[in-house]
A = this chain, B = another copy of it.
């Protein structure tokens, strides 16, 4: 299966044929391709569509007048930006691509149609939203309490599991198509310090990061260093009681 969206959602529950068809149809609507570092949604925009990321990486961010920028979240393939965003009048943050991406645009009506048609799908979109907010909380914890190495290690562990959930990892490695400056804006560090912290992880033999591919050499050790507990991702088939068949 190459539909990362459905693949992600099936980490919660297994769909029926009808569910699958409805989700496939929804993710084939309004396909757009964008290049790297393009804005998808601007702060202040009126929400018009739900954007579904099919390929590539994007991010939420907020930027101050003085240039400081915080990346608030990463969108990975299969991630849906805010299924209920229509309730709000204006976007309070921006969304931009990090790499070239493929997006689907899903209308409010279609979201309503597929959730009305299947309570299982409705519940699963709820789950996706709770999963997203749980990540946001964990980022709050990282920025508030973790040191530079811990933050970096934690992010690498999180990305490993999120990408694995959509089939985008090899055994111990994955594509990490962002710059050190992006990581700096994500982790609340300077890019110089991200660079030095990466070297610390490299020389201690924890990771390799060459030509966009990150390899984790000792995941248990990195997990311990990061104080990483995967429970908050809720990727462990928690909707088993809703499974089809």
User: Which residues on A are within 8 Å of B, measured CB to CB?
Assistant: 44, 60, 62, 64, 68-70, 72-73, 82, 84-85, 87-90, 92-93, 123, 126-127, 129-130, 132-134, 136-141, 143-145, 185-188, 227, 231-232, 234, 236, 238-239
Contact = CB atoms under 8 A, between A and B. Distances in A.
A136 B130 contact: no
Contacts of A138: 62, 92
B141 A72 contact: yes
Nearest to A90: B231
> Which 5 pairs of residues, A with B, have the shortest CB-CB distance?
A144-B188, A143-B143, A92-B232, A70-B144, A89-B238
Contacts of A132: 133
Given A70-B144, A239-B87, A64 B227 contact: yes
B127 A231 contact: no
Contacts of A82: 130
Nearest to A227: B64
A87 B126 contact: yes
B139 A62 contact: no
